[in-house]
């Protein structure tokens, strides 16, 4: 909610440089947001640690939330927002969340508009992700940022909170270059699978179901998948130089486009500039419904990013890039071969071995649900949670495939391999289901499915 600023005060009263707030001295304003103004400040002289002898960096950020002049209900809302931030920082601290050092009440009797404001004392960040996007982010840096956001979200969700206002303005880059999620004024604590939040948000980052969500006495129902949608938008912005995934000149136009996509009247068209791995990740985050997004938890996305990074880095030395490209071509050739079955395909079923491209899952035998893979009901419909049978499969399981469909919907795996080939699988009983060809390394010769 805090904006970068070339800031003229806008008639609002500001704390002047040198103003003392508790142990801190204001050095100047940094940004201004919905309810708050953020100032840079440093430890005042004469207080403990002000000499800098202990090596602790003594500059911090003060988020000042004025309550004077507000109607009682609004003042209560501001106090609640501040309380939520403090509560979250107290109960669920994490290296990827901005650190809250203290909360104070501002005493400024000579400035009635600010007297009594709530002040949150926070660690000082270098800039916001929005600032960084303006200067350009390369793929390696972008990968580190998205991984950082996923770590923060995974922690929040595990601790039972939803951020509800994730956007590049609220992703700070700390002085160590790492991500700090910030602005938890709208964060809500879940009871069970969902919580309720005030009908607020930033239009470009709200999931499509929010535009139709009914408003109850406690607010709008919200689940962790709302943050995952916002993450999908942020991933796209990071790898497409700040351009949002949905077309349109204004947030309203982009919302309308997102709505058309969610209702199945338009396809998702992500920018070609987004590298394939990140495009697949963004597409999963931007699955059109809560149910389709639900399997893509922050945790599972983080596991995919880690697998991608660990798989990539050793193979990344420059002289071998050509080889890697060749390897990718070779796989494409295999896929292409499968597209045109050989003249004399075997009419009998073949056994195929399931392959999970996520490295962390390949050596496990404990059948952890997070390492399970789904079999589709219909290979011509998107490979999402709604289109998957209850039976799950794991790496190295063997399955009976009886025919192949060369022209199903394309599936991209965690190693960026794409294929439109699907194998029809026979399960115990009369059940059949479909395994995408990218989920096995076997290439059996099978008849084309009728």
Find the shortest distance in angstroms from Cβ 267 to other proteins: 12
Euclidean distance between CA atoms 315 and 337, whole angstroms: 26
Q: How many other β-carbons are positioned within 10 Å of the β-carbon of residue 444? A: 19
Q: Is 344 a catalytic residue?
A: no
What's the Rg (C-alpha) of the chain? Answer: 26
Catalytic pick among 58, 165, 183, 227: 165
Residue 197 beta carbon to other proteins: minimum distance, rounded to whole angstroms: 10
187 closest CA partner among 84, 37, 33: 84
By beta-carbon proximity to other proteins, the closer residue of 70 and 339 is 70
CB closer to other proteins out of 200 and 243:
200
Rank residues 151 and 227 by Cβ distance to other proteins and give the closer one.
Answer: 227
Closer residue to other proteins, CB minimum distance, 1 or 181: 1
Q: How far is the CB of 129 from other proteins (least distance, A)?
A: 11
Helical residues (DSSP H) of 286-370, grouped into ranges: 290-293, 298-312, 321-339, 359-362
Whichever of 212 and 348 has its CB closer to other proteins, that residue is 212
Strands 20-21 and 24-32 come out as antiparallel
Give the closest residue to 418 by CA, choosing from 324, 302, 329.
329
Task: Please tell me the distance from the alpha carbon of residue 106 to that of residue 380, in angstroms, as a whole number.
Answer: 61
- Answer whether 408's CB lies under 8 Å from 421's CB: yes
Min dist CB 256 to other proteins, Å, is 3
- β-pairing verdict for 188-189 and 161-162: antiparallel
Nearer to other proteins among residue 214 and residue 450 (C-beta): 214
Chain residues that interact with other proteins, rule: CB under 8 A: 1, 3-8, 10, 12, 31-35, 37, 71, 73-74, 77, 130, 165, 167-169, 186, 198-204, 206, 210-217, 219-220, 248, 250-253, 255-260, 263, 265-266
Distance, CA of 94 to CA of 76 (rounded, Å): 28
Rounded to a whole number of angstroms, the minimum distance from the CB of residue 165 to other proteins is: 6
Q: How far is the CB of 3 from other proteins (least distance, A)?
A: 3
Give the nearest distance from C-beta 163 to other proteins in angstroms: 12
Q: How far apart are CA 185 and CA 80, in angstroms?
A: 8
Q: For residues 298 and 227, what is the distance between their CA atoms, to the nearest angstrom?
A: 9
> What is the number of other CB atoms lying within 10 angstroms of the CB of residue 14?
19
In our burial notation (b when 16+ CB lie closer than 10 A, e otherwise), range 71-106 reads eeeebebbeebbebbbebbeebebebbbbbeebbeb
Please, which residue, 172 or 401, has the CB nearer to other proteins? 172
Task: Tell me the catalytic residues.
Answer: 165
């Amino acid at each position: 909610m805090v904006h970068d600023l070339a800031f003229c005060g806008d008639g609002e009263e500001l704390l002047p440089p040198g103003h003392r707030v508790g142990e801190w001295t204001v050095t100047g304003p940094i940004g201004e947001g919905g309810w708050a103004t953020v100032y840079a400040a440093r430890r005042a002289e004469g207080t403990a640690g002000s000499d800098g002898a202990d090596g602790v960096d003594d500059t911090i950020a003060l988020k000042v939330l004025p309550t004077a002049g507000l109607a009682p209900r609004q003042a209560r809302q501001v106090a609640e927002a501040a309380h939520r931030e403090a509560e979250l920082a107290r109960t669920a601290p994490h290296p990827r969340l901005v650190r809250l050092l203290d909360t104070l009440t501002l005493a400024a009797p000579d400035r009635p508009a600010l007297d009594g404001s709530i002040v949150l004392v926070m660690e000082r960040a270098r800039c916001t992700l929005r600032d960084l996007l303006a200067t350009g982010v390369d793929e390696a840096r972008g990968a580190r940022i998205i991984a950082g956001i996923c770590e923060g979200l995974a922690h929040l969700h595990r601790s039972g909170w939803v951020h509800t206002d994730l956007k590049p303005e609220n992703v700070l880059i700390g002085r160590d270059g790492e991500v700090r999620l910030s602005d938890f004024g709208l964060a809500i604590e879940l009871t069970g699978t969902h919580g309720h939040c005030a009908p607020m948000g930033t239009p470009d980052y709200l999931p499509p179901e929010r535009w139709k969500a009914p408003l109850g006495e406690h607010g709008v129902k919200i689940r962790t998948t709302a943050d995952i949608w916002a993450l999908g938008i942020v991933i796209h912005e990071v790898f497409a130089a700040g351009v949002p995934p949905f077309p349109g000149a204004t947030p309203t136009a982009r919302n309308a486009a997102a709505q058309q996509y969610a209702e199945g009247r338009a396809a998702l068209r992500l920018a070609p500039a987004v590298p394939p791995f990140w495009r697949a990740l963004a597409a999963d985050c931007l699955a059109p419904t809560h149910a389709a997004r639900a399997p893509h938890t922050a945790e599972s996305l983080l596991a995919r990013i880690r697998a991608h990074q660990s798989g990539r880095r050793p193979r990344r030395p420059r002289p071998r890039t050509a080889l890697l490209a060749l390897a990718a071509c070779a796989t494409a050739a295999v896929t292409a071969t499968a597209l045109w079955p050989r003249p004399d395909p075997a009419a009998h079923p073949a056994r195929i071995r399931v392959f999970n491209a996520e490295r962390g899952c390949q050596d496990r035998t404990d059948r952890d649900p997070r390492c399970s893979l789904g079999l589709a009901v219909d290979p011509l419909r998107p490979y999402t949670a709604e289109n998957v049978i209850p039976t799950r499969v794991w790496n190295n399981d063997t399955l009976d495939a009886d025919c192949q469909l060369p022209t199903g919907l394309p599936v991209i795996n965690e190693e960026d391999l794409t294929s439109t080939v699907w194998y029809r699988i026979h399960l115990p009983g009369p059940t059949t289901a479909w395994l995408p060809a990218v989920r096995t390394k076997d290439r059996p010769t099978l008849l084309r499915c009728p």
